[in-house]
Amino acid sequence: MSTKKQSIMKKKSWIIPIGVALVSTTLFIACEDSNTSNKNNVPAVQTGGKDSVELAKMAQLQKIFFSIPAPMEMASLIKQMGYKYDGKLLNSTESVTRYTGETKQAVNLGIFGADLSYASMFDEKQESMNYLAAAQKLAREMGVDGALQDQIIERLNNNQQSRDSLLNIVSEAYGDLNGYLKENNRVEISALVIAGGWMEALYLSTRFAATGNETLKARIAEQKYSLDNLLKYFAEFNGKENLAEMNNDLKELKILFDAVQISSSSTEVKKEKDGMVVIGNSSSVTMSDESLKNIATKIQGIRSKYIA
Amino acid sequence: MKLLQYIIPVMLLIPVTSDAQCRPFTKNKVLPLLSGYVQNDNFNSAVLVPGDEAELLLTFYSGKEYRLAVVAHPILGDVDFEVRDTNDQLVYTNKDKTDNKTTFDFKMSSTQQLIVRINVPDQKNAVITPEGCVTVMTGYKELK
């Protein structure tokens, strides 16, 4: 197997079908244009070429396997630490009408997704419904309403008694949202949604960690991994204009996360009596209170800009 | 003949656009495998062909039990996958498994990143190269 350590798929043969498709797209559009050029006077080669390049880039981006933990996992830790639900920390659902422009809409779709995860983790059913409705409205305005279909609200309505069902429906909806965007040639939007969701989860955890919770503080420090992954993913888009602002924000955040020290040793794999595998190492994460404060201030500033 | 002029290019486009088939596959074939776990990931799917290799870097948090699912469309046969740490140390491989080659359950005693490497075995005797969805997903449980 390949020894290269990157999340991008290493594939020997997908270049060929893309190449063939590129040619065929050009041919197809060229044929179409040759039939209609008298009416429209459109230069066939230029139109076909541009679409083909975009198509090839999109196909390449669709082939990337990329992952960071969903916001639900951070919400889970906040609840586990015994904190109470605080709806005032979340982005107001009423602000949904304010968001125009693809970047802001996409980031806020991620933010609403994270807020939805947080509300559902605390079994706040009405709030969960409100956040899902807000996310759905935003998705509709972005023309990606297929991502959050009415059946999800119906499923939430029908499963109000079970917290586990609520969590599963919300987790599935969040995962499917990004799958939908990716498969419908909105990979850049998907990247912004993921970044928005991650940012909101980080923002919420910093609000609670300010009370001096060491477990939460360590989890925030561990977000260094996710931030590095996000930046690598954004780099794949080769400086796309609509990702530039978020990319810069993440880079500024990285400067602060660079102060987080993570040391690790070799991985140990053990088996428990019941056969369950336990993986771990003697890693340690060190983040000063000052670093936490800097990160908390920075993420609040970035978030404020997007939710305004 | 004129009809073929249009049909052939459209058919050739299919390899590029067939990613759109992976969401139903993930929902129907992969999500049920995560039953009892909270899905904590995006839908990570791509259309692969025999001979393909793919890699995914994942972060796992301490104090949690995880299920990793790597599922391929049956047309690709059983795909091999292995889990390594970031120093390339092997943690798990499904190669020696005779049953349940698609999921790996484990607990994390520390937070760390692990790499999942997937290999779609070659089908040297295949007349037509098959292609199918491969999905990688994880779910978690809190440890009590």
pLDDT band at residue A65, thresholds of 50, 70 and 90? confident
Test mutation, B27, B57, B119, chain A, max A CBs within 10 A? B57
Average pLDDT of span A242-260:
96
Distance CA A47, CA A24 (A): 14
Q: What is the pLDDT of residue A145?
A: 80
Helix A102-121 to helix A125-141 angle (10° resolution) is 160
Lowest mean pLDDT among A31-35, B69-73, B121-125: A31-35
Question: Sign of torsion, CA B116 A61 A66 B86?
Answer: positive
Give pLDDT tens digits for A9-39.
Answer: 444 333 333 333 333 333 332 333 333 333 3
Q: Which one is predicted more confidently, B123 or A207?
A: A207
Give pLDDT tens digits for A71-98.
Answer: 998 999 999 999 999 999 999 999 999 9
- Check A62 against B19: CB less than 8 A apart: yes
Task: Let me know the angle formed at the C-alpha of B62 by B56 and B66, rounded to the nearest 5 degrees.
Answer: 55
Give domain limits for chain B. 2-142
Instruction: Please provide the average confidence, as pLDDT, over all residues in chain A.
Output: 81
Distance CA A28, CA B13 (A): 10
Q: Which residues of A touch B114 (CB under 8 A)?
A: 279
**pLDDT higher than threshold 90 for residue B3:** no
C-beta separation of B60 from B114 below 8 A:
yes
Closest CB to A28 among B9, B38, B87: B9
Residue of B3, B76, B84 whose CA lies nearest to B45: B76
Backbone angles phi, psi at A274, to 5 degrees: -80, 5
- B27 close contact with A: CB closer than 8 A: yes
C-beta separation of A253 from A240 below 8 A:
no
Q: What is the pLDDT of residue A50?
A: 45
Residue A274: C-alpha distances to residues A207, B14, B91, B105 (Å): 39, 46, 18, 12
Distance CA A109, CA A137 (A): 9
For residue A97, give the DSSP letter: G
Place of tokens 């079994």: A123
Q: Which one is predicted more confidently, A65 or A25?
A: A65
For residue A82, give the DSSP letter: T
Average pLDDT of span A159-173:
81
Task: For chain A, count helices (H), then strands (E).
Answer: 12, 4
- B99 close contact with A: CB closer than 8 A: no
DSSP string, B16-34: HHGGGGHHHHIIIIIGGGG
Q: Which residues of B touch A62 (CB under 8 A)?
A: 19, 46
Residue of B60, B63, B121, B52 whose CA lies nearest to B92: B60
Q: Which residues of B touch A7 (CB under 8 A)?
A: 55-57
Distance CA A202, CA A209 (A): 10
**How far, rounded to the nearest angstrom, does the alpha carbon of residue A104 sit from its chain's CA centroid?**
14
Distance CA B44, CA A52 (A): 25
Question: Sign of torsion, CA A231 A236 A240 A243?
Answer: negative
Return the CATH architecture of domain B2-142: Sandwich (2.60)
Distance CA A305, CA A285 (A): 30
Q: What is the pLDDT of residue B12?
A: 41
- Check A5 against B57: CB less than 8 A apart: yes
Closest CB to B16 among A6, A17, A68: A17
Residue of A198, A304, A170, A197 whose CA lies nearest to A257: A198
Q: What is the pLDDT of residue B127?
A: 83
Distance CA B68, CA B56 (A): 12
| Shortest CA gap A82–chain B (Å) | 14
Give pLDDT tens digits for A123-165.
Answer: 998 999 999 999 999 999 998 887 787 778 788 888 777 777 8
C-beta separation of A259 from A221 below 8 A:
no
Distance CA A63, CA A42 (A): 32
Reading the block at residue A144, the tokens are 């990606």
**pLDDT higher than threshold 50 for residue B42:** yes
Q: Which amino acid is at B131?
A: E
ipTM > 0.90 (yes/no): no
Closest CB to A73 among B6, B46, B61: B61
